[in-house]
Structure 1
Amino acid sequence: MTLPAIRSYRLTAPNAPDTPRLARDHVAYVLLGNRLLGLADTARLLVSEVVTNVYEHTATSVVAVETTIRPGQVLVAVHDASPRGIPPRRALPEGEEECGRGLSLVELLARSWGVTQLGYPEPVGKSVWFELRDA
């Protein structure tokens, strides 16, 4: 059986404390099932960071994670219904601080990433996305 060249998977979950874990496990299983084992650990980390940002910085009730697979490539987009944008990347925190590293990790480990406002003319949400490529 030949797999289609482009496949998309979507997880919709409540914006809750356990959602980052559920989202990262979902994306890892999708990648493993599509023979992209080499991207699974990085994808798990980045999904966890982005979904945690939704939980900690928005009041939206639902978060959706869309994973699009192309040959040798994965695009993950985390959608929420908060029009508030993501703050610009800050310098890494010093010392043992636990907060403030998420988007820096995304920038460091992803081939590309960005934020897309959803809705026109007034934003009704956003999508934080990142792309990984298989070496």
Structure 2
Amino acid sequence: MTNAVTHTGSPTIDLETVVLHDGVRVVVYDDHAAAEPLAALDVSRDSEHGRGLLLVQALADDWGVGPAAHPRGKGKNVWFEIRRDGGGTGIYRTPTILDT
């Protein structure tokens, strides 16, 4: 959510949470340009910012970015899933990028 507010300039940002049979899915929608690759996760040790997606990548069982699928129909979504049986293995996962 913070990344959407800080980096997109989108006037409207939506948050959706979905309880799955084996975990939870969180989706953040914004009105910024359609899904595009996310910036490389290269953060210096002394940096005060830039670790949000690194944390998502480390803790989520799956995550990615895709075109917005909400009523406004424009922009993109960034999502992650945490599953009961998977829970934060510490393995950094490459995001799933869906075609627009």
Deviations 1:36-67 (A, max 9, x none): xxxxxxxxxxxxxxx11111111111111111
TM-score (structure 1 length as normaliser): 0.53
Contact 1:89 1:103 in 2 (8 A): no
Corresponding residue pairs, total: 81
Identical-residue share of aligned pairs (%): 36
Mind listing any 5+ residue stretches in structure 2 that lack a counterpart? 86-100
Choose which of 90, 108, 117 in structure 1 pairs with 2:41: 90
Kindly provide the amino acid, as one letter, of the partner of residue 105 in structure 1.
L
1:114 to 59, 64, 68: 64
Q: 1:130: which partner in 2?
A: 80
- Unpaired stretches in structure 1, ≥5 consecutive residues: 1-50
- Which stretch has the larger CA shift, 82-91 or 52-61? 82-91
In 1, distance between residues paired with 2:9 and 2:37? 14
RMSD: 2.0
Q: Letter of the aligned partner of 2:2 in structure 1? A: T
Give me the whole-angstrom Cα distance separating, in 2, the residues matched to 1:54 and 1:126: 10
Matched residue SS, 1:78: strand
Residue in structure 1 matching 2:13, options 38, 63, 78: 63
Cα pair 2:30 2:68 within 8 Å, conserved: no
Once superposed, which parts of structure 1, at least 4 consecutive aligned residues long, lie more than 4 Å away? none
More helix by share: 1
**97, 100, 103: which is aligned to 2:53?**
103
